[in-house]
Chains A and B, each alone.
Chain A
Amino acid sequence: EAGVAQSPRYKIIEKRQSVAFWCNPISGHATLYWYQQILGQGPKLLIQFQNNGVVDDSQLPKDRFSAERLKGVDSTLKIQPAKLEDSAVYLCASSLQGVGYGYTFGSGTRLTVV
C-alpha cells in the first residue's frame, strides 16, 4: 500500500514569511494528525482530524497556524507569519480509529526559520 505522502521535504524561510505543508494520508484512514517535533523533544500534537472535522486542536497556536482537511482526504498546514521557534520537523500521520492501531507517518517536512 502507498505510504503517507508529505511535501516539501525541506523548507527554509525567513521569519515573518508564510509557509504551507501538504499531506496525503493512507487511503481509508479517516484520522489524520499533524505533529511538531522540535529538536530534543518528542513529537507534539498540533491537530487531529476525523474525516474533515477537527477532533483536537487544543495545542495549535491559532494566531499563526491553521490547518484544513478538505473532503476528508488531503490536508494542509499553514504557518503565517513564521517565528524562529517554529523551526522543527512537521510530521503528518494517519491511522484507523482505535487505540490498538498504530500510525503511519509521512517522511516529514524539516522547516528552518532564519
Chain B
Amino acid sequence: ILNVEQSPQSLHVQEGDSTNFTCSFPSSNFYALHWYRWETAKSPEALFVMTLNGDEKKKGRISATLNTKEGYSYLYIKGSQPEDSATYLCALPLDSGNTPLVFGKGTRLSVIA
C-alpha cells in the first residue's frame, strides 16, 4: 500500500496572495510524481510529471519542486487568482511498470476576490 499524504486539506487565500501546499510520500521505491488540478464540474487536468530528485517545473504562475530523498513535493501558486480555485491532487505509481496511480486526498484551494 502506497500512502500519499497531502496538506493542508483545504485553504482559503485572498486574490493576489501566494500559497503553497505539500505532497508527502515514502522516499523508498520512488518512480514518479504527478500533480493534477481539478476544477469543479470539469475534468482533472495534468499539471506536472516529475521523476528526478531536485526537479523543478513551472507552468505560468504555478511551479512544483521535488525532493525524493525526504519524500515530499511542494506546489506553489504565485499571485493567486479566483480561477486557481480547484482541488490539487498528487499521485504516484506503485512501481516502474504499467501500474496505476495512487492519489492523495487533495488540497482544496479557494481564492477569494
Contacts and interface: CB of A to CB of B under 8 A. Distances in A.
Interface of A: 3-4, 31, 33, 35, 40-45, 48, 50, 55-56, 91, 93, 97-108
Contacts, number: 61
A63 B32 CA distance: 33
- Most A C-beta atoms less than 10 A away, residue of B31, B43, B102, B104: B43
B89 A3 contact: no
A100 B4 CA distance: 18
Main SS of chain B's interface residues?
loop
B98 A42 contact: no
Contact of A97 (B91, B98, B103): B98
Nearest to A37: B103
Given A42-B89, A42-B104, A100 B32 contact: yes
A56 B32 contact: no
17 contacts: A3-B43, A4-B43, A42-B6, A42-B104, A50-B98, A55-B98, A56-B100, A100-B32, A102-B34, A103-B44, A104-B43, A105-B36, A105-B43, A105-B45, A107-B42, A107-B43, A108-B43
The dominant DSSP class at the A interface is loop
Interface in B94-113: 96, 98-106
Interface in B69-88: none
A101 to B, nearest CB: 7
A12 to B, nearest CB: 16
B77 to A, nearest CB: 19
